[in-house]
Amino acid sequence: MEGWKRTHHLGELRIEDNEKTVTLMGWVHRRRDHGGLVFLDLRDREGITQVVFYPDLSNEAHELAHQVRSEFVVALKGIVTPRPEETANKDLATGEIEVRATDLKILSRAKTTPFQIADESEVGEDLRLRYRYLDLRRPELQDNLRVRHAATSSIRRFLDGEGFWDIETPVLTRSTPEGARDFLVPSRLSSGEFYALPQSPQLFKQLLMVSGIDRYYQIVKCFRDEDLRADRQPEFTQVDLEMSFVEQDDIIEIMERMVSTLFAEVKGSSLVTPFPRITYADAMARYGCDAPDTRFGLELADVTEGMAGSDFKVFAKVASSGGAVKGINAKTAGEKLSRKEIDDLAGFVAPFGAKGLAWIRIQPDGEWQSPIAKFLGDEARKAIVEALAPAPGDILFFVADTLSVTNFALSKLRVHLAKRLGLVDDSVWSFCWVTDFPLVEWDEEEKRYFALHHPFTSPRAEDLNLLKEDPSRVLATAYDLVLNGTEVGGGSIRIHDSEVQQKVFEMLGIEEEEAMEKFGFLLEGLSFGAPPHGGIAFGLDRLCMFLTGTSAIRDVIAFPKTQRGTCLMTDAPSKVDEKQLRELGIRLRQSAKQGGN
């Protein structure tokens, strides 16, 4: 750059800078070449500034400006000038001025880009991922990264102020049973053995509490080798923290302040605290899921009891055999949904296991229009009226199945209907805490209990005696933070007593020997004087999705993976040299050699 120093960013100059001599650098956003007069819109991450080249101001610069093309990187010197009457551009922050160029340098030429940067049109995702660095030049993604930076920096500032220490934990650690599939890393020095990438720093942060660190946090990558979704990547980022000498309410209180500060600083929104709390049992009963969208009603109501004696055999059979019949009242949907749409909703719930979807449309005269109306006796009608309070214009929907299928199908239908009926206010942040989760869940296939949260979650003190006799009734001191129907964080008070920890392992069917081999270091740590402690982890990517208003997690990650877990830019994962494998003591199976591309 031959000693040239940039004096201003490209979103910076205003009318007050009139007559200043400036040096600007950036990418050519657009060029408008009038022959005798050339305009360049110069772009950097801060904005766009218009530059004009006059032949009589500098013939040399004007000549060179003809050669410039989109996405060239240029440097120029010039004089800030107010734009002539009527030519100001209200769409640009710098639109009242322009820079009259006296000197131009082309710092870097650019080939024609595979897609236009200075153009908002949608481009195929595969092409954008292949040339991710070009996609990141576009304002939309660049703004997302800006928001993500603002978020992490707000969170760090807040936690620092509350006395949390940022401490790094290992990325190469050991594989643990339970939870998601691990990413494995072969060890060269211990041939035949493997590290695992952490699914979260859970055990390390607990041991940091044992060390007396008192308050720890980390914004940290976590890895889970499971299939991807619109909101799931194999490597993702958690805001992970842990505190000593606290109870559930202490953690909830401080996290409400952290989240409020975050939304205030990044979005300028002021959240109302404390956030509402709902127990897991209530959430399942009223919303059918443990992460309810509380921006709208459409709550589920249970009508199982009134259906046992019904003439509608599907309901009666389910009701009398331990299943559940639940319904939703879609208030005033009668005018909005056509008969075909109503029938199509059965197809909507089918993938969630529901074998059918019954409905009743309440006519203006109060008549029940429904394929099942004639099977509903007085008792069934009474149960429905009491549970759902139908009024003319409403449509009632029912699913009858096992409790879990009924809840799952209706929870999905609830959200679907709310969107269709325009009940979802996208400008609202509706947070709630879900508490009192069951400690464990019975797995029918493996015939054993699994920890709902993770195996280090403390049972509620009053439930300790239930551990042996009826584990399924034990509630955990675990809590999730839910925002608009998405879980954005979750944590628990941990077991700080190695004996209780051992009992929980036992109940989970983890043999003592196995527990010692895989978690011995934790049990041992807890035995040397562990403070009561607990913590929480937030999904930073998901939080950023809300802060940016995007629906794809890829949009808040600089270099994301495709749904198949590949990176189209680097072409990872890739084959490796035979020599590398030999050093690791690895030989590929025939099927693995043929796989890949």
> Which residues of the shown chain bind RNA in the complex (CB under 7 A)?
30, 32-37, 39, 41, 50, 52, 54-56, 69-70, 83-84, 87-89, 91-92, 95, 98, 112, 114-116, 119, 121-127, 129, 179-181, 199, 224, 226-232, 290, 351-352, 408, 437, 452-453, 487, 490, 552, 554, 562-564, 566, 568, 597
CB of 338 to RNA, least distance (A): 21
Instruction: Output 115 or 183, the one with its CB closest to RNA.
Output: 115
Instruction: Output 156 or 412, the one with its CB closest to RNA.
Output: 412
CB of 124 to RNA, least distance (A): 3
CB of 206 to RNA, least distance (A): 16
Q: How far apart are CA 284 and CA 290, in angstroms?
A: 6
Number of H helices, E strands in the chain: 18, 22
Burial (0-12, 13-18, 19+ Cβ within 10 Å), 294: buried
Phi, psi of 106 (to 5 degrees): -90, 110
Q: How far apart are CA 35 and CA 69, in angstroms?
A: 14
CB of 426 to RNA, least distance (A): 17
Instruction: Output 256 or 290, the one with its CB closest to RNA.
Output: 290
Tell me, rounded to whole angstroms, the distance of Cα 252 from its chain centroid: 20
CB of 460 to RNA, least distance (A): 17
CB of 217 to RNA, least distance (A): 17
Q: How far apart are CA 21 and CA 452, in angstroms?
A: 65
Whether residue 335 contacts residue 362, with contact meaning beta carbons closer than 8 Å, is answered with no
Nearest to 530 by CA among 250, 216, 212, 202: 212
Instruction: Output 362 or 434, the one with its CB closest to RNA.
Output: 434
Instruction: Output 392 or 549, the one with its CB closest to RNA.
Output: 549
Two tokens at 9?
């960013």
CB of 596 to RNA, least distance (A): 8
CB of 564 to RNA, least distance (A): 4
Q: How far apart are CA 398 and CA 406, in angstroms?
A: 9
Q: Beta 47-53 vs 97-108: how paired, if at all?
A: parallel
Instruction: Output 398 or 437, the one with its CB closest to RNA.
Output: 437
The DSSP string of 86-127 is: T---TTSTTTTEEEEEEEEEEEE--PPPSS-SS------HHH
CB of 187 to RNA, least distance (A): 23
Amino acid at 356: G
Please measure the distance between the N-terminal and C-terminal CA atoms of the chain and give it in whole angstroms: 43
Q: How far apart are CA 395 and CA 331, in angstroms?
A: 7
Instruction: Output 123 or 281, the one with its CB closest to RNA.
Output: 123
Q: How far apart are CA 300 and CA 407, in angstroms?
A: 8
Instruction: Output 180 or 264, the one with its CB closest to RNA.
Output: 180
Task: State the CB neighbour count (10 A cutoff) for residue 385.
Answer: 12
Provide the β-strand partners of residue 301: 327
SS3 label, residue 407: helix
Instruction: Output 452 or 466, the one with its CB closest to RNA.
Output: 452
